[in-house]
Chain A
Amino acid sequence: AHAASAGSAEAAPADLASARDKLGRAEVALAAHDNDTALALAQQSQADAQLAAAKTEAMRAQRSAQALDASARALREEMARKAP
């Protein structure tokens, strides 16, 4: 759920899909009273989701940094042109 809210479907679609798949299978295993499998799948699902969220947040920050770099470059060039 945390990974989905961070926009991971766009940034880390494979990791998010994997997390959702494993979560579904963990629920199935739990329903079948295969507790060991359910626990393993749930742990993997959580790890996948955390990775998806981290990727998404990293990508977002990197995009912001790139945009800032571009605007700083534009500002620097603008000021260089204005300089006598």
Chain B
Amino acid sequence: MTTMRKFPLILLAAAALAACSSVPADNAQLDHARSAYAAAQGDGRTATLAPVEFRQSAAALALAEAAYARGDGAARVDQLAYLAGQRVATAQQIALRKDAEARIAQAGAARDAMRLAARTREADDATAAAHEAQDDAAHAQRQSESAQRQAVAAQRDAQASQQLAQASQQQAGDAEQRNRMLESQLRDLNAKQTERGMVVTIGDLLFDTDRAQLKPGGRQPIERLGAFLQQYPRRKARIEGYTDSTGSASHNLALSGRRADAVRAALVDLGVNPVQLSAQGYGESNPVAGNESSGGRQMNRRVEVVLSNDEGDIGKR
């Protein structure tokens, strides 16, 4: 009985043993699918970017694992493991595509942002440049206004200077003209520059011998002298009478004094102010030539008129 009872147990054990031996050894295809799935899971991007396909690949792998656990035929396990591996690979590729598409979108946004930044910067630069230009313009205008004021002031100065120059020129011209006129008049008077000043010598044609009466023929030089003294009222004239050595010295001194007075009186008659005039006889002193010859004596008989400068100074005899 016991043997009878034991037999099914042995059968069961044998059956169990057979079942154990029928469990397939390592399946290469399944190992490959497992490691591929593990890699995808470790990456993380596949689950994130391709969640549907990743779940499908997980389900496919579970089917293969179940078949393997059930002890399905190697061909069946291989088939399911192969399909699972391909699904994992497909999910990974889809994740790669999604990643690339995200980068494309980001690149577009970045490019737009960059262009916007560039445009903003250009606008800012333009605004800054405009402000700078405005400042420059205002500065230039201020400078221009200042320069204009300076120019106006300079123009006024120039005009004043010109007027001053014209006045100076006029005065210089006037002085020059006066000097020329004076020189011309002095030339007409036959004036000589001496150490006493300008001296006009009037010869003996004025008077007859031993007389103090002016001869009519000698009036012309007197009239010129009179006109000159009237034109230059600040100048003074000292009228000096001289004789030759004929006759006594005292007589000659008196004669020369009367002749000098006669010339003075004639000048006053012509309108010369008497304060400009003085008269003095010097007789036979200060001869200009020898009294031995008649020519020398004629040169010594004379009236000399010494003219002062403009200030009225006159050299003493």
Contacts and interface: CB of A to CB of B under 8 A. Distances in A.
A54 B104 contact: no
Interface string A28-64: 0000000000001001100110110011011011101
Contacts of B100: 58, 61-62, 64-65
Contact of A79 (B89, B90, B107, B114): B114
Interface in B68-124: 75, 79, 82-83, 86-87, 89-90, 93-94, 96-97, 100-101, 103-104, 107-108, 110-111, 114-115, 118, 121
B269 interface: no
Contacts of B87: 47, 50
Nearest to B95: A58
B83 A47 contact: yes
A58 B93 contact: yes
Most buried by A among B89, B90, B115: B90
A76 interface: yes
B43 interface: no
Given A43-B79, A72-B111, A64 B90 contact: no
Contact of A65 (B79, B107, B121, B125): B107
Interface residues of B, number: 25
Interface of A: 40, 43-44, 47-48, 50-51, 54-55, 57-58, 60-62, 64-65, 68-69, 71-72, 75-76, 79, 82-84
Given A47-B86, A54-B97, A61-B101, 16 more contacts: A43-B79, A44-B83, A47-B90, A58-B96, A60-B97, A64-B100, A65-B100, A65-B103, A65-B107, A68-B103, A68-B108, A69-B103, A71-B111, A72-B111, A72-B114, A75-B111
16 contacts: A43-B83, A44-B86, A47-B82, A50-B87, A51-B93, A54-B89, A54-B97, A57-B94, A61-B97, A61-B100, A61-B101, A65-B104, A68-B104, A72-B114, A76-B114, A84-B125
